[in-house]
Amino acid sequence: MLRWVRQQLGFDPPHQSDTRTIYIANRFPQHGHYVPQKFADNRIISSKYTVWNFVPKNLFEQFRRVANFYFLIIFLVQLMIDTPTSPITSGLPLFFVITVTAIKQGYEDWLRHKADNEVNGAPVYVVRSGGLVKTRSKNIRVGDIVRVAKDETFPADLVLLSSDRVDGSCHVTTASLDGETNLKTHVAVPETAVLQSVANLDKLVAVIECQQPEADLYRFVGRITVSQQTEEIVRPLGPESLLLRGARLKNTKEIFGVAVYTGMETKMALNYKSKSQKRSAVEKSMNSFLIIYLIILLFEAILSTILKYAWQAEEKWDEPWYNGKTEHERNSSKILRFISDFLAFLVLYNFIIPISLYVTVEMQKFLGSFFIGWDLDLYHKETNQRAQVNTSDLNEELGQVEYVFTDKTGTLTENEMQFRECSINGIKYQEVNGKLTPEGFSEDSPDGNRHSLMREEELFLKAVCLCHTVQINADQTDGADGPWHANGIASPLEYYASSPDEKALVEAASRVGVVFTGTSGDSMEVKSLGKPERYKLLHVLEFDPNRRRMSVIVESPSGEKLLFTKGAESSILPRSKSGEIDKTRIHVDEFALKGLRTLCIAYRRFTPEEYQEIGKRLHEARTALQQREERLADVFNFIERDLELLGATGVEDKLQEKVQETIEALRVAGIKVWVLTGDKHETAVSVSLSCGHFHRTMNILELVQHKSDSTCAEQLRQLAKRIKEDHVIQHGLVVDGTSLSLALREHEKLFMEVCKNCSAVLCCRMAPLQKAKVVRLLKTSPEKPITLAIGDGANDVSMIQEAHVGIGIMGKEGRQAVRNSDYAIARFKFLSKLLFVHGHFYYIRIATLVQYFFYKNVCFITPQFLYQFFCLFSQQTLYDSVYLTLYNICFTSLPVLIYSLFEQNVHPHVLQSKPVLYRDISKNAHLGFKPFLYWTILGFFHAFVFFYGSYLLMGEDTSLLGNGQMFGNWTFGTLVFTVMVITVTMKMALETHFWTWINHFVTWGSIVFYFIFSLFYGGIIWPFLHTQDMYFVFVQLLSSGSAWFAIILIVVACLFIDVLKKVLYRHLQPTSTEKAQLTEAGSGINCLDSMCCFSDGETACTSVRRMLERLMGRCSPTRVNRCGISLNSLCCRRFSYKLEPDEPAAIDV
């Protein structure tokens, strides 16, 4: 317990060295001064809080927010000095916001605790004291030997010791880690593979040395030293020996493994690392507005304090006869009195800062995010996948995207590969009815109808069948004894592969006569036209992005040592010294022009001496604990040279459905699309043309194959010049990875200038980090555009995390992109609805929510400021403290929350068919300085009308009751408050376009609730209140006809100007969105149920009259029926759109 506490406080770090030493079965050496290393236990902790730290930690995190901290200071000031309002007025809203947020976060954390306890309490079997002991998962320690049975998940990161198979191999699926459903083969070292019983394992004496934990799922460096009698045998350990926590054992009865990483040090737990916090543009605007209102607050407080002392400079006002000073007040310091008065005014006006804004925004984002998952248009039936939201903080950012960076393979394409053609020994072949046919020969020609394979063809196909990581379903019956077709080909086997390219090639080879039939131990079995052959697998040189190739070294049935290599032509052709290199290069370019994915295949024969040298170097590199990757890369480069080229393959990856329409829609919406791919130049250009990213009429500019800074800079200058000269023509830019590195090194500004003047940019031969660098380059440019990255593979993760919004495609390359994304969708075509509909709605909703919150608080506090001019700045409050407390919490909170969840200012079909409407909300248009200034001025205007309207109507003659009884200051304040509540609620109604029964209920219900509450609150003498200022005030106010007249007149006066402005703007300067709100339904034109919409041919007066009719509940049933509006929901349901002459054609997406 003490050690755990020290680790949590950071005084006792778990590891000190770069490597860890693990004694299997925890048999520590008995001699010497051995100090065992300290390792983490096997508990998984995904929760954030504990019972002990929840309150302090949660409070600390919440008070890091400026608004919460500000209200805490105000609350403390109210406790410390004599202020005009009760501390409850600030304390209760603060307590409400803090409590609601804490309950939400506490509940979420309780669910995480519940899940953790279920995982940590799972039963496992561990080898101890010569037998199997059942224990809980959390009790596993590093060094324990664990038994895992078929279909069970691994409880920790284990090094495989043995399995029920003689060769010590097992099959594993890592679908829960990276989404790959193919079976991966893991193998134990020969010395432990024979120990298949608990008794034998209990006698094992071995030590594992390996690296300290790291998050990379595919990297593991270690070695095992097994003691046998007097000798010690050292074997390398790599990723093929490590069984990851969360993976599942398949097609294997049981395995034994030793725990090397446990608990929060497992690779699965390390991949839980929180992503860097992304902040939306709306949140940044909100914080800016908060600072501006804070300045307004300070200005009002300082001005009020100065005016108070200026007024009190006259003797008669300094100490009037009815309010004499005490001796203590006369003798107190003027500076202290000034500070005290300033703080008192600060408290009086503090509600201009909306504390409930943050909690409302949080609720809106959290609840609103469910609509994406519920949207059936984003559901993909074929794969049974629906859209998912990994973070709700960026919902509104979907409506602000200016650049889309997309991967090609699996994102724009299906990632379903089909073999089309190949080049063997300089001759092009196509597959025709299960046979390889040379180009130019038909199936009926003598050479086209042959049943045998030439030597070069057979060697090429054997290379395809041996150089891969494909697995065969173990439950499938072996093709060896199965039926054979007439041409000697076995019935199709079911292959599993992490790469769709490999699967397509192996399946194509099997169709034309060379069948990979599986592995047996360290052997690979192939049937060539029915004749079985066994190749011994000696070494696998794994694929990596830097080499862009993979190789295998095998021993043929005749005893020859052969190297088979396949990879990108840029990594194979320069290393080939013989074969038809020139012809193959031409064929590869031809394949690429057709949009096919290309791979080159080569081989090399080793002499016994060469192989012995290679084996020695590989063993040294693989057993190294330091710089293993670098050493292996050097050895791989030494081996993969002097190759003999066999040929190349061309595989087709079909475009996804509606990709072309989606890209065109993005372009119409003003969004620039960049394609970032690792494919070769010609393939990428061909796919860009076919998917509509590049147009046939577009001028394609190229920045490729540059090796020096000078040539790259010169080409950039030429491109910039061409763009200026041909400014009318649309340009597309193609740049490759090497040229991009040069351009970003010295000529970043020039490169960005060229890119921004291009309609479309294609980056090919891109490494994963280069993708992220390009995104960062655009993101940090002076214009600070909002970027979106979309991809489906692990190589897209860095790009997805770098962009403002990251979207993962649920494709066939695993789930890493989905796990690291902000949103995930099944197909690229869903991007259009995600941006044009959901993004549009989220942005409109939250922009109005933020502006409205500041507006209604200006309306709330400005009358309080004006009131001070009539009470000698005595800090007398205009409103009762209960009204101060409940204004933001109860009276005005629900209408804006419901609006922010359900508002649809344009019908979704119209938004999706008219992408140009996206331009109306781009560049944070609704939260810019002009809208902010409009809402703020409107708030001050309404506040002045509330106060001075009430003052003019009852200021001089306060005897508004029939019996001549006079109104007091509380009645005046209540009148102002009543007018304000009705007006701000009606203002929200004016902004609402999409009315549902919920909107009606909360809008009119809020006003009714205010009246009922006020009657109840003022109609009873409450014994726990110190004063009964409000007793019978509201009842008397409502009993005055003059007061009712004042309420109606002031509300109409406030809203009339706003309605007039909306109507005039819609007539004189309508935006594209406002035009779209005029929709045709049947024989008449109707609006989307906004109170301020008007139809063609109507005057402004007609529109206002209709609005007033609605307010009074006199909506014409005939008009409602003609417009297709339900009387229950008042929601238009029939939509069509008539294009304006100057607008682009509608696009069906």
Please give the single-letter amino acid code of residue 763.
C
Give strand pairing partners of 807.
Answer: 790, 823
Residue with tokens 């040379």: 438
Largest CA distance in the chain: 125
Q: Residue 284 corresponds to which tokens in the numbers above?
A: 């940044």
Residue 202: alpha-carbon gap to chain centroid: 48
Asked if 1001 contacts 995 with a C-beta cutoff of 8 angstroms, the reply is: no
CA-to-CA distance for 444 and 201, rounded, in angstroms?
A: 64
Burial group, residue 295, by CB count within 10 angstroms (0-12, 13-18, 19+): exposed
Q: Is 718 helix (H, G, I), strand (E, B) or coil?
A: helix
Beta carbons within 10 angstroms of residue 315's beta carbon: 8
Give strand pairing partners of 259.
Answer: 158
Give the pairing type, strands 787-791 and 699-703.
Answer: unpaired
Picking from 119, 182, 186, the residue whose alpha carbon sits closest to that of residue 155 is: 119
CA-to-CA distance for 926 and 610, rounded, in angstroms?
A: 71
Alpha carbon of 1100 to those of 121, 1065, 1090, 1109: distances in Å? 70, 11, 14, 14
Beta carbons within 10 angstroms of residue 191's beta carbon: 19
Alpha carbon of 646 to those of 422, 432, 447, 463, 642: distances in Å? 11, 21, 21, 9, 13
CA-to-CA distance for 978 and 646, rounded, in angstroms?
A: 87
Report the catalytic residues: 407
CA-to-CA distance for 95 and 98, rounded, in angstroms?
A: 5
Q: Residue 227 corresponds to which tokens in the numbers above?
A: 């003691």
Please give the single-letter amino acid code of residue 609.
E
Q: In what order do the strands lie in the sheet with 388-389?
A: 388-389, 823-825, 805-809, 787-791, 403-406, 672-676, 760-764, 731-736, 699-703
Q: Kindly write down the DSSP assignment for every residue of 730-788, as one continuous string.
A: -EEEEEEHHHHHHHHHH-HHHHHHHHHT-SEEEEES--HHHHHHHHHHHHTSTT---EE
**Phi/psi at 402 (nearest 5 deg)?**
-115, -25
Q: Is 52 helix (H, G, I), strand (E, B) or coil?
A: coil
Give the pairing type, strands 561-567 and 576-578.
Answer: unpaired
Residue with tokens 């980056």: 763
CA-to-CA distance for 439 and 417, rounded, in angstroms?
A: 21
Asked if 779 contacts 803 with a C-beta cutoff of 8 angstroms, the reply is: yes
Burial group, residue 118, by CB count within 10 angstroms (0-12, 13-18, 19+): exposed
Host H or E run for residue 1078 = none
Rg (CA), the chain: 37
Residue 1068: alpha-carbon gap to chain centroid: 40
Asked if 849 contacts 356 with a C-beta cutoff of 8 angstroms, the reply is: no
Asked if 601 contacts 640 with a C-beta cutoff of 8 angstroms, the reply is: no
Total H helices, total E strands in the chain? 41, 37
Exposure class string for 475-513: b at 16+ Cβ within 10 A, else e? eeeebeeeeeeeeebbeebebbbbbbbbbbbbbbbbbbb
Burial group, residue 9, by CB count within 10 angstroms (0-12, 13-18, 19+): exposed
Give the pairing type, strands 597-606 and 561-567.
Answer: antiparallel
